[in-house]
Structure 1
Amino acid sequence: MDQHDLGELSASETARQVRSGELRPIEVIDAAIARIEARNPSLNALVYTNFEHARQVALDLERRMASGEDIGTLAGVPTAMKDLFGEYPRWPATLGGIPMLRDRLAEATSLYPARMEHAGAIMIGTTNSPTLGFRGTCDNELFGPTRNPFDTDFNSGGSSGGSAAAVADGLLPVAGANDGGGSAGIEAAWCGVYGFQPSRGLIVGVAGAEGSGQLAPYTHESLVARTVEDAALVLGALTRAGQASVPESGASTDWLMQTRRPVTGMRIGLSMDLGIFPVDSRIAELVKQAAIVFETLGARVKVIDFALPHSQQEISSMWCQLMGARMLATAEGLAQTGIDLLGDDNPLPAPVRSWIERARGMSLAEMHAASAMRTSIRQTFEATFRDVDLVLAPTVGSFPVRNAVRGLTLGPDDVEAEAVDPLIGWALSYLTNFTGHPVAFVPAGNWDDVPIGMQLIGGRGGDGDVLAASAAFELARPWISRYHIPRRRPLDRMPA
């Protein structure tokens, strides 16, 4: 089996063949390394690799297998973590390509690599992200943009763009994708992969066990994968028994079993705009077709009125303001270690610095207004889920944007002739960062070879419902064959 054949294996099948002895871990890793060396230079998905480490871990797995040890449910599966609050000892940690952090090395191991290695997966490097995750595209001054595997003139989306591009292009079967603003969804939609954002507290996220009263958007430890089964397998590794941080998360579940549940009788509410967002008509058409698929599977689909009391401009501005406060806290924490991100000689991207300064001057009245807006969003969700089990909606309102000069790629500033904030306002996927509901980001189809995504939002603790519906749709409309499009892309296109 050559490197391309191995690259088309799912994580589940890779682990099965490794555990059965049909494949050696070192074979899997050497094939992944060959694919990365051949394909990543024209994609810029991985910004740091440690092949020596990966080979050593693979050989160690072989020794453990020979001694009869249980090597885990993800044995031999290559993966990578996101270069944003993802840490591995002595690996670079640049917080999304901040130039002054290019030589900063991590000391600890963050959650994603720790739990994935516990399950037998092999860390091979880190993936690209925008600075501090503060935009829905993947670009930064240090590393430049991550290109979309379906058309490298365009961006992968963000902030987990490097992870999604690597998975879509077959470099890795699964990758990490922490999420503070729809960041497992935007790039999943644009790169045609499956993203999963769990219920608040199901996995202790990058900000720890977040309380329900916190002001900043919830940050989730998330993932991107090619298949729902792979996502369920990774979710099992990341949650582990008894590891949920808050009671509402609905923990201690066999996630693979959830993917085999039928959706007969499931109540699905269809919203093409979540009440406030402009959506490209071609995207809306494919999501409507997906709703029909669910009806053929026995679900009860109805159009719902998602009555949010605020405009998309107001909510995106509130997200930016609260993320500014989180970024300010990050900068102040680094200042205590002698790293001054806010100094005049260490310029951050203009939107990052602008919103940090706005957060620094935020009044109590502004904090109260943001908290009240956030509460109203959650109340709208809770009212909606009294009548439905899932909400089906587009993930983003626009098609991928073209890559700009290094560090300057932004989203669209209008959709269907309606003005939107180019940082995040064109995405429908970040509202759950205010509410904590679980959501899957599912490939809905392609329009002229360009992927289009939809989201399946579950009720509180409804991660199993989300997985079940995702798996049923995947079985009815499999998307795995679409990856032949990036596989045939030219490899001589270098990132900007």
Structure 2
Amino acid sequence: MRTHDRFDPAWKLADRIREGDVSPTAAIDSHLERIETRDDAVNAFITVTEDHARERAREVERALEDGEPIGPLHGVPIALKDLTAFREGIRHTFGCRAFSDNVATHTAEFVRRLEDAGGIVIGKTNTPEFGHKPVTENLLVGPTSTPFDLERNAGGSSGGSAAAVADGMSAIAQGGDAAGSVRIPAAFCGVYGLKPSFGRIPESARPNAFQYHSPFISKGVLTRSVKDAAIALEVMTGPNARDPFALPADDADYAAATERPIDEWSIAYSPDLGAFPVSESVRARIEDALSGFERAGATVDPVGVDLGHSLETLRERTRFGLMQAFTATVADSIQRRSGIDFLGEHAADVPEEFRDRIRAGREYSPVDIGRMNRVRTAMFDGVQTVFEDEGYDLLVTPTVSVPPIRNDSLDDVRVDGDPVHPRADWLLTWPFNMTGHPAASIPAGRVDGLPIGMQVVGPRFGDEAVIAASAAFERRRPWSDSYATL
């Protein structure tokens, strides 16, 4: 059997394994060697499951030899974000020092589905404590860097997953997205990041079925090709009787959507969503990249988007207010279940800003939450206007306002020299967590040698549309060669 290029897309690796051209053990060994070579510098992983991965590779190899039915990800290495992607028997830290020795006692439903499809868990990736900020660093193992510049951050909160995929340490990585946590690191690491509709990938967290179920949070995936993301989504999606918010089964075919033409589509382009500061260099690169859609036959029109309020109001009422309330709920659940009190004896195990979020969230009344949701409704109506009233098939924006920021400047983000709020004002991602629309970040080129992303947003439950448009763009402006320099 021959070796393979670790930067090959996952679908191609799966095909070669199925054809007997590459063995699962060889594929896993190759990726583990890459982790050993590169991860000290990149810091993508909190835990590498070397023994588990090799044992699992031997199992799937025997299944292949015995002619057993195999899945679409048979033998493909998969990295899991160390937040809600529980895998029984594997260390699970939530990116938090207080859980450094914690081992998962159950397997999340979407992880089980990935493994049933033949995927092999190769490790758990870095995330800030409980995914609480848009960069990846924590008190447990430190920051994760984008492979394109090791002095700059991979973005967050799924930064470890994005960096692992970009650097060839894993073929596919799972992520979660509460305010851009898949799309931000996808942009910073030059990979494709898909946030599907809320409920598309089911959850099965217990003891509280609603604990990790916020309408702002979607499970997602980070890959080097759109087809890889489509295959992973098909594997993970589908109803789950234990998830009260899981979407019902439908006739979607995400893999087929990657071949769908978008000629005669009408695409709306907003450089700033009417609210966000965006650097001139990023804006110029995104506007150049729009030609990929036009070359695919679509029409691209600049549009105005009215989210109903100023950026400050949107930020304080939704990005912060609603998420602070959610953080306080999570902290309460952790204290009740595990006895860990982040405002008491375990305060030193989380950053001060995380403790501040808990305190703020505990102060909100039901009336406060109701007022916040009215702002959220205005955001939803503003986005729906683009699709329903103006009739566009897709909305496109920059993913973030700036290229990857330095690891030593995470609290001082500037857009063309002007300081902005470091947790919100450079991220054009979180409005679509508030509205629930599916969205993805597509690699859109580089600014000063650093990757940036273009965000594509679909209509409600229009996951196929996001995938179809992303794949059409990829055919006209492929990015696969960008990893060859790493």
TM-score over 0.5 (shorter chain): yes
Q: CA deviation at 1:250?
A: 7.7
- Corresponding residue for 1:194? 192
State the SS of the aligned residue for 1:6: coil
- Corresponding residue for 2:99? 101
- Corresponding residue for 1:368? 370
Q: Does structure 1 conserve the Cα–Cα contact (< 8 Å) formed by 2:110 and 2:202?
A: no
Q: CA deviation at 1:79?
A: 0.8
Deviations 1:255-308 (A, max 9, x none): 111010111011100000011000011110111112233122211111111011
State the SS of the aligned residue for 1:73: coil
Deviations 1:191-211 (A, max 9, x none): 000000111221114779999
The aligned amino acid for 2:78 is T
Deviations 1:207-251 (A, max 9, x none): 79999xx99552111000000111111111111478897697784
The aligned amino acid for 1:349 is P
Deviations 1:124-182 (A, max 9, x none): 11000011111110000111000110000010000000000011111111100111111
- Corresponding residue for 1:453? 453
Matched, 1:168 2:170: no
Distance 1:283 1:258 in 2: 29
The aligned amino acid for 1:265 is E
- Corresponding residue for 1:342? 342
State the SS of the aligned residue for 1:442: strand
Q: CA deviation at 1:326?
A: 1.7
- Corresponding residue for 1:494? none
- Corresponding residue for 1:23? 22
Q: CA deviation at 1:113?
A: 2.1
Distance 1:369 1:299 in 2: 39
Deviations 1:442-490 (A, max 9, x none): 00111232101011100012111111111111111110111123x2xxx
Distance 1:215 1:150 in 2: 34
Matched, 1:399 2:397: no
Distance 1:71 1:151 in 2: 38
Distance 2:151 2:50 in 1: 28
The aligned amino acid for 1:447 is V
Note closer, same or farther for the CA distance 1:299–1:422 as it changes in structure 2 (3 Å cut). same
Aligned pairs for 1:35-434 (under 5 A) are 35-96=34-95, 98-205=96-203, 216-240=214-238, 251-317=250-316, 318-347=318-347, 348-386=350-388, 387-404=391-408, 410=410, 412-416=412-416, 419-434=419-434
Report how many aligned residue pairs link the two structures.
478
Distance 1:276 1:321 in 2: 18
Q: Does structure 2 conserve the Cα–Cα contact (< 8 Å) formed by 1:181 and 1:217?
A: no
* Runs of 4+ displaced beyond 3 Å: 205-211, 214-217, 240-252, 411-414, 416-419
The aligned amino acid for 2:298 is A
Distance 1:164 1:275 in 2: 28
- Corresponding residue for 1:493? none
Distance 1:132 1:53 in 2: 25
Note closer, same or farther for the CA distance 1:215–1:172 as it changes in structure 2 (3 Å cut). closer
Q: Does structure 2 conserve the Cα–Cα contact (< 8 Å) formed by 1:206 and 1:220?
A: no
The aligned amino acid for 1:376 is A
Note closer, same or farther for the CA distance 1:416–1:311 as it changes in structure 2 (3 Å cut). farther
The aligned amino acid for 2:138 is N
Distance 1:22 1:438 in 2: 36
Distance 2:209 2:286 in 1: 33
Deviations 1:54-98 (A, max 9, x none): 1111111122122221121001000110011221122222212x2
TM superposition score normalised by structure 2: 0.93
The answer to which of 315-324 and 202-211 deviates more is 202-211
Q: Does structure 2 conserve the Cα–Cα contact (< 8 Å) formed by 1:202 and 1:251?
A: no
Q: Cα RMSD over matched residues?
A: 2.3
Distance 1:321 1:414 in 2: 23
The answer to which of 388-397 and 312-321 deviates more is 312-321
Q: Does structure 2 conserve the Cα–Cα contact (< 8 Å) formed by 1:201 and 1:246?
A: yes
Q: Does structure 2 conserve the Cα–Cα contact (< 8 Å) formed by 1:190 and 1:452?
A: yes
Note closer, same or farther for the CA distance 1:416–1:363 as it changes in structure 2 (3 Å cut). farther
State the SS of the aligned residue for 2:444: strand
The aligned amino acid for 1:193 is V
Distance 1:163 1:206 in 2: 21
Distance 1:14 1:411 in 2: 40
What 5-or-longer segments of structure 1 have no aligned partner? 488-496
Note closer, same or farther for the CA distance 1:215–1:467 as it changes in structure 2 (3 Å cut). closer
The aligned amino acid for 1:397 is S
Deviations 1:291-335 (A, max 9, x none): 233122211111111011222222222322222222222222122
Higher relative contact order (Cα pairs below 8 Å, separated by 6+ residues): 1
Distance 1:302 1:64 in 2: 51
Distance 2:422 2:372 in 1: 20
% identity of equivalent residues: 36
Distance 1:47 1:480 in 2: 26
The aligned amino acid for 2:320 is C
The aligned amino acid for 1:49 is V
Q: CA deviation at 1:412?
A: 4.1
Distance 2:378 2:249 in 1: 23
Distance 1:353 1:285 in 2: 39
Distance 1:10 1:71 in 2: 19
Aligned pairs for 1:470-485 (under 5 A) are 470-485=470-485
Distance 1:260 1:41 in 2: 38
The aligned amino acid for 1:384 is V
TM superposition score normalised by structure 1: 0.91
The aligned amino acid for 1:451 is P
